[in-house]
Amino acid sequence: MFISKITRKGQITIPSEFRKKLGTDIVEVEMDKGKIIIKPVRKLGGILNRYAIKNKSIEDVMQMEKEVIENAFAERHNNS
């Protein structure tokens, strides 16, 4: 077991032996049932995979983006 202090900036030190075993400099941090879980990310795409829009064409995604932008613009100007 290793005890680490959390700095004012929210940083912690992960021991070098742990970092070597992880085999990466990028980790995913999440909280589950009051515990902090740190998982290695081998590829940056791996951490973003859960946010991917699957089974949609580029055109569909671009249309979705356009609608989101238009809605946000309309909301901003209706609330002004």
Average pLDDT of the segment spanning 24-38: 90
Which residue, 39, 63, 41, 40, is CA-closest to 53?
A: 63
> What contacts 12, CB < 8 A, 6 or more positions away?
4, 5, 6
| HSE value, Cβ hemisphere, 13 Å, CA-based, for 23 | 3
Q: What's the CA gap between 68 and 65, in Å, rounded?
A: 5
Which of the two residues, 74 and 53, has the higher pLDDT score? 74
What's the chain's Rg over C-alpha atoms?
20
Average pLDDT of the segment spanning 26-43: 88
Residue 44: what pLDDT?
A: 65
Indicate yes or no: pTM above 0.85: no
